[in-house]
Amino acid sequence: MNIILSDRAKREMLYAKPNYFYQTVEKFAQQYNTGFIIRGNDLYENVSWEKTPHPTKEEIDSEVARLNADWAAKEYQRKRQLEYPPMEEYIDAVVKNDTAAINSYIASCQAIKAKYPKP
């Protein structure tokens, strides 16, 4: 089954920042072999751990900060992905042995890379 997403849906998926707090709490809960309940918003103080030992606030905050920084550093990748031409255009050009279309596709990709360079 093929799922076709609109450009808006793709954009929303790419720019929807994950909830790193919940992911991190879940990860550390597995490492510490404990369960948890989060009551309220995403604050360490709102986490009830089932048993000790459990992760410290510093462990959680440090990992969330690392994940947030990694997400922010990859913004150029998300922007590029939205603007790259469809891969089908390249494959079609290769199958047809259309050198002009292949070169055009490559030029488009290079222009997008120049527009959104790696930091």
pLDDT reading at 106 higher than 60: yes
The helix (H) or strand (E) run that includes residue 80 is helix 75-83
3-class SS at 54?
A: coil
Q: What is the dihedral of CA 103, 108, 109, 111, to 10 degrees?
A: 120
- pTM metric for this prediction: 0.71
Predicted confidence (pLDDT) per residue in 45-86, tens digit: 999 999 999 999 999 999 999 999 999 999 999 999 889 999
Q: What confidence category does residue 16 fall into, taking pLDDT thresholds of 50, 70 and 90? A: confident
Q: Which of 35, 59, 31, 30 is nearest to 47 (CA)?
A: 35
pLDDT reading at 34 higher than 90: yes
Cβ atoms 61, 24 nearer than 8 A: no
What does the alpha-carbon distance between residue 99 and residue 93 come to, in Å, rounded to a whole number?
7
Q: Tally Cβ neighbours within 10 Å of residue 68.
A: 14
Count of positions (residues) in the chain: 119
What does the alpha-carbon distance between residue 116 and residue 16 come to, in Å, rounded to a whole number?
19
